[in-house]
Every structure is written in C-alpha cells, then in structure tokens.
Amino acid sequence: MSRLASRLAALTGWRRYAVALVAGALASAALPPLHLLPLLVPAFVVLVWLNDGSQHRRAAYAVGFWFAFGFFLCSLYWIGFALLIDAGRHAWLLPLAVVGLPLLLALFHGLATLAVYSTDLGGRLGGAARVLALALAWTAAEWLRGHLFTGFPWNLMGYVWTVSEEMLQFAALVGIYGLSFVTVASAAAAATLATPTGGGSGGSRGWAPPLVAGLVLVLLWLGGAARLPGPADPAAGVPGVRLRLVQANLSQEKKWRADLREANLGRHLQLSSGPGNEAVSHVVWPETAVPYFLQRDKVAAALVGGLVGPSGLVLTGGLRAAPDAAGVPRIWNSMLALDVNGGVVAAYDKGHLVPFGEYLPFAPVLARLGFSKLARGAAGFAAGAGRRSLSLAGLPPFSPLICYEVIFPAEVVAPGARPGWLLNLTNDAWYGRSAGPYQHFAMARVRAVEEGLPLVRVANTGISGVVDGYGRVLRRLGLGQAGIIDSQLPKALATPPPYARFGDIGIGLLLTVAAVFLAFVKLRQHLAER
C-alpha cells in the first residue's frame, strides 16, 4: 500500500488531475440513489495521497478542485435535463450548465486541499492530523458554498447516510454539516495505513486512525438506534387530520401547455376525488399544479375547493399575481390554500428562488447575451418575504417550503413559535427519471431529522411521501408514478432536537475543537523541529 501511495503522490501534470477527477467521480456513487458508501474510502484515500505529493500551493488547490469537479460532474448531470425541455431555446446552454456549475462548485473545495497543504501536517506526523484537517476544511467549504451567492448546499457529503435511519440521527445534534465532517474523516482515515505515524518505519500505529474511525461510526449507529423509538406507526398521527397527497405525474412538456390546461386540471381532480375522498380532511397538490392564476378562474377554483368538506382545505402550488408594496405588478410562485367555496384563504410566496430557473441574475447584461430563465413567461418571479408559519383551519401550524427551499439547513423554520410540521411542494419533472429527484427527497428527509418535525412532500412526478420527525419514510409514492397517498399527519417530536434550537452552533463548536487540536499538533511539530 505504501508503494501505491508513493506512486500517486509522485504523479504530475494531467495524470495527477485525471486521477483526482476519477476519484471524485467514484465518491459521487455514494450519494442517492446508488448509496455505494464503500467507494468513499478509496476516493478520499486517493485524494489524501495525491495531496501529499503537492509541491506548491497551486498544485494543492488543483487536486481538490479536480476531485470536486469529478464529484459534481457525475452527481449533478441531471441539471442538463431541464435544458432539453425547451431545447430550441436552451440546448446551447447545456455545456455551461452541466460543466459550468460543477466548475463553480469545485472552486470551494480546492480551498480544502490547499488548507491542508498550508498547515503542513503531512508526512512527518504520519498523516492522522492531515486527515482531520481535510475533514475540517472540506466541511468548511461545504458550509461556504451553502451560504455564499444565494447558496447551493446540494449533495453535501453527509447525505450519503440517508440510506441509514440510525446514522441520520446524528444530524439532530449537529446537522448535515456534522455528518459531512464525520463522513470525510472516516473515509480518509485509511490513508494513514500507508504512512507511518510518528516518523517510524514500521507504521503499526497507522492502523489507529481507521480503527478509531470505524469505532466512531459504530457508536453513532448505536446512538441513532437507541434514539429511534419502536417501529413507526403510519396510522398514528394528529387527530382529525387526514391528508390526500396527489401526484399526477405530468411531464414538464405537457404541464404548461395552454391547450392541455383543462385536461391537466381534470387529472388532479380525478385523483383527488377518487375512492376514500370522504374521509380526507385536506388535499395537497404539488408546486405549480395549477400553472396559471387560479384566483382569476372562478369556475376552476370552485371545482378545486369542492374536493373537501366545509372544514377542509385544498393546498396547491400555483401562480399569484398582485402589486407589491410599491404598487408594481408582480408574479409569485406560491402555495395557495382554498376553502370549500374555492376562495383563497391564505398564500405563501416562495422566497428562495432558483437562479436561471425562476429569475435571471444580472438580467440586463445576460439577456443581451442570449440567456433566459427556464420557467415560461417574459417576467421572472418575484421573491416572497421568506420563511413563515401558517395556521390554517383544521391543521397544526406548518412551515411551507416550495421546491428547493427545503435543501437549506437551519433555514426551513421561521424564528419564533415552532410549527407542527413541514410542507414541501415541488415539481421535479424538469429532471426526468434521473438521480436529481432522489437526491432532493433525501435532503428533505434530513430537514425532518434536524428539526424534529414531520415532513409532507408532494411532487408532480415524484418522489412524494410522508416522513416522521426521525426521518423515517412512512408513506412513499415513487418517481414516475401517478397516484395518491392517504395518510395521517405524524406528530412533531415533543422536544425539539439540539440542531433545531441552536442551528449551526453545534457544528461550529465541533469544527472549533478540531481546529484547536490541529493547532496544538502544529505547535508540537514546530517545537520538535527547533
């Protein structure tokens, strides 16, 4: 193994970066839907060994950059599917989206390997410290890309654990970023097997880091198993609430066609009014299930409202048009609540819009270059006021989240009184039968764990489901299926978990402890060399 490590460290030029790219691509297979977690070990071990051979800062940055580029290139390929919906307008942007976005995201993670190189915690100490430094720097890079420039915290490394309910429970303490830290540290720990610790020649102590990493994972799994109560009971829930989630499975090509408006609405009405409807208190449709101004179509609104009884509501995604505070006409991507008469009794406007999807950044400049947003219409959507809780008839207060608003840790619940559940309306039809919808659903599940709140997710083409406050999937309707889910609304956990109360303070403390420890190691190294 030492020979392999030496050969990788000695690589130069394009071969060095090609190996880094392949290693990153290998790591991406651990994400949903594949969940090939063992591949993380060789991927991050190779990354560590490649960085060991860095001769200067530029080379150290480049190895992390190309690793991350391979990771995102293979895990975000599905973004290109959205550009093929209206290929005549957007196909020319395919290389920019499929390659450009991974390049931008990789910029953050090049900083991780650069930071490890700059600390000089490598071979002379046998490398255990550099493994911890990599986990620290990688997690910091994830946090930065999740917050800067509107943020894009998609495919954080911790999401590989959505395959295990037990491991997910650690997110209740330190959030998804804490899971990322543990994941990278554990995967990279095996790199020390080829690097003797303490300057010796035998390297027997090189077994200690991977053994410790394995023990930590076992303890986290056992802790998660202990936290989980008995088997989830889908029948237990909030008294008096019976939800019907409607997944019509309309392709994106057909969804916005004016000539199919009546047929598409009829499809939702048919599924909503099917057998068992009399027991349903609330009907829920996905994002832009009604892709026009329902408030202006009194006949359609009455048909939708008629799906429920006098005390019920229909919650649907739709468009809302109204003047803003300055009197300027605006259009919002909204969730509308309709009563039995078809009247809109409440609305939530999406606050965190998708760049290039729902609005065009730097529109005056980019429009002249031929860029346009993916969503139909000349004008972009206006951004709503942001997070809020809604209290509606017959329902516990809830936090509405439209589409990718659910992917932002610590940003899914408004400050103040804690809601009783999370409602995520989305339309992943843009991405077809790709990895994208699976990744999106996995991220939504983690928000339930972090907040200790049940999650109801309704998607146009899937994946729809009901998730309890432990992240366990109680009901699920798969990708590309048409149908309904009738379900109770699970109860929120009685006590909010630490992450729900303190947000990223927990992972901040964890990273601080790791940084202090590395500083101590560096100080000892410096004193030993004097």
Count other C-beta atoms under 10 Å from residue 236's C-beta: 11
Mean pLDDT by 10-residue block, N- to C-terminus, for the chain (530 residues)? 84 93 98 97 96 92 97 95 76 84 96 89 62 94 92 96 97 96 96 60 64 96 93 79 96 86 93 92 95 88 92 94 80 93 93 72 54 54 86 95 95 92 96 95 98 97 96 96 96 95 90 85 72
Residue 498 near residue 506 (C-beta atoms within 8 A): yes
Catalytic member of 165, 255, 350, 358: 350
Query: Does residue 194 fall inside a structural domain?
Result: yes
Catalytic member of 142, 165, 287, 411: 287
Residue 135 near residue 191 (C-beta atoms within 8 A): no
Residues 28, 87 within the same domain: yes
Residue 278 is among the residues annotated as catalytic for this protein: no
Identify the domain containing residue 21 by its residue range. 2-229+504-529
Handedness of CA 411, 416, 422, 427 (dihedral sign): negative
Catalytic member of 403, 405, 411, 450: 403
Query: Does residue 113 fall inside a structural domain?
Result: yes
Residues 461, 436 within the same domain: yes
Residues 205, 250 within the same domain: no
| CA-angle at 293, arms to 287 and 296, nearest 5° | 145
CATH number at residue 405: 3.60.110.10
* pLDDT value for 178: 95
Number of H helices, E strands in the chain: 19, 11
Residues 424, 313 within the same domain: yes
Residues 350, 280 within the same domain: yes
Query: Does residue 237 fall inside a structural domain?
Result: no
Question: Rounded to whole angstroms, how far apart are CA atoms 499 and 505?
Answer: 8
* pLDDT value for 324: 73
The overall longest dimension of the chain from CA atoms, in Å, is: 84
Query: Does residue 451 fall inside a structural domain?
Result: yes
Into how many domains does the chain fold?
Answer: 2
Residue 33: asked if its preceding bond is cis (omega within 30°), the reply is yes
Residues 295, 203 within the same domain: no
Q: Give the burial string for 341-354 (b: 16+ CB within 10 Å, else e).
A: ebebebbbbbbbbb
Query: Does residue 193 fall inside a structural domain?
Result: yes
Question: Rounded to whole angstroms, how far apart are CA atoms 278 and 234?
Answer: 20
Residues 210, 268 within the same domain: no
Question: Rounded to whole angstroms, how far apart are CA atoms 79 and 276?
Answer: 38
Query: Does residue 108 fall inside a structural domain?
Result: yes
Instruction: Tell me whether strands 242-247 and 483-488 are parallel, antiparallel or unpaired.
Output: antiparallel
* pLDDT value for 208: 85
Query: Does residue 494 fall inside a structural domain?
Result: no
Residues 127, 174 within the same domain: yes
Residues 435, 389 within the same domain: yes
Residue 254 is among the residues annotated as catalytic for this protein: no
Residue 403 is among the residues annotated as catalytic for this protein: yes
Residues 182, 247 within the same domain: no
Residues 477, 422 within the same domain: yes
Residues 277, 346 within the same domain: yes
Query: Does residue 137 fall inside a structural domain?
Result: yes
